[in-house]
Structure 1
Amino acid sequence: MERIAVFCGSSNGASPIYKEGAIQLGTELAKRNITLVYGGSSVGLMGAVADTVLEMGGNVIGVIPKLLAEREIAHLHLTELHTVQTMHERKAKMAELSDGFITMPGGAGTLEEFFEVFTWSQIGYHQKPCGLLNINQYFDPLNLLLDHMVSEQFLQRQYRAIALSDSNPSGLLEKFMAYLPPAIKTYK
């Protein structure tokens, strides 16, 4: 894996443990020479993971919509910064540039990004790993919901396995390396 997209919050969250997790992830990416692809912001968990990768000599590619860049939150010291027009373009560019997707704690936008790449995998737009970095058990309710979707037969078990989860960046990246995508969903 050469490049991993990270979806996460533009705030630090209620506990310092979230920022610590972002720093741990940035450290692990840099140690493994994996380029970070992310939303291009200098604030919150996004800024923390990017700053860490950069401080460790790694590469960081940001993709930010013009509207957000104009609000002066664009990170100005990245390896590359792509400015796009819309959030849709941002997600498409991040997906194009990445070999996998890690979702860290964040808000509605972060979850929307996760569910989009999860769904794209399910229907065959890509076969890249999708993981939840479950810092402070943040994604426990989401993992329970995914399991509930399976038990209620709205999500097939083989597609539930797309959503890898680990509380440790190293453990999650090991799951990425071992990931075997399920067969592409059919509707027959």
Structure 2
Amino acid sequence: MNPRPFALCVYCSASTADPGQLALAARVGTEIARRGWHLVSGGGHVSMMGAVATAARAGGANTIGVIPKHLVHREVADVDSDELVVTDTMRQRKQVMEDRADAFLTLPGGIGTLEEFFETWTGGHLGQHTKPMAILDPGGHYTGLFTWLTELRDRGFVPQQALDLITVTPDLTEAFTALAHPPSAVPIRDIG
């Protein structure tokens, strides 16, 4: 019996129409398929979320969408997913996504993406999971955030060990290499 394929959870915007961001999301979906991985996503068929899933499926990847019932129409549920899980709440959505994933990739996004990223990062820092986490940021979307987090580290509010759990990179290949390995085996880039 073959083990289940590696599953990557992607957090990203469900609202932007920026062509560059949509192209980035499509490149991520294509790379997921090229590696023979599964995609775990927020289950919407809009914006970057839809672009990742569409590109992953086009390349032959299995896609698992997880969406709370109150967003089924708002985010136009990705009914083309190989598996579409509809949850009662956002909290349940995030738990299912975390449980089904082997690693987490954050792309540019807004408050929902940030909330998912911070919850996953906090869980990793507290030892609730040991799954790799990366942020793919070729356009500097998160530069201000990590400048602030570095200041918080310098003031003693965020330990360096927490920052070391995240690979932040503008390079798709570097992000996927980091995601394929447990955090202890990933060389962490200096974000300070």
TM-score, normalization by structure 2: 0.89
**Equivalent pair of 2:8/2:38 in contact (CA under 8 Å):** yes
**Equivalent pair of 2:46/2:75 in contact (CA under 8 Å):** no
- Return the match for 2:95 from 92, 95, 112: 92
Offset, 1:35: 0.5
Amino acid at match of 2:9: A
- Counterpart in 1 of 2:15? 11
Q: Distance in 1 between matches of 2:121 and 2:172?
A: 19
What fraction of aligned residue pairs are identical, expressed as a percent?
A: 35
- Counterpart in 2 of 1:114? 117
Structure 1, unmatched stretches of 5+, are 183-188
Structure 2, unmatched stretches of 5+, are 186-192
Q: Distance in 2 between matches of 1:18 and 1:135?
A: 10
Where in structure 2 are the equivalents of 1:9-158 lying within 5 Å?
A: 9-13=13-17, 15-71=18-74, 73-158=76-161
Q: SS of the counterpart of 1:5?
A: strand
Q: Which structure has the higher relative contact order (CA within 8 Å, separation 6+)?
A: 1
Spell out structure 1 runs of 4+ moving beyond 6 A: none
Cα RMSD of the aligned pairs, angstroms, is: 1.6
Amino acid at match of 2:178: K
TM-score, normalization by structure 1: 0.91
Amino acid at match of 1:5: C
- Counterpart in 2 of 1:173? 176
Q: Distance in 2 between matches of 1:70 and 1:137?
A: 31
**Equivalent pair of 1:127/1:181 in contact (CA under 8 Å):** no
User: How many residues get paired?
Assistant: 181
Q: SS of the counterpart of 2:77?
A: coil
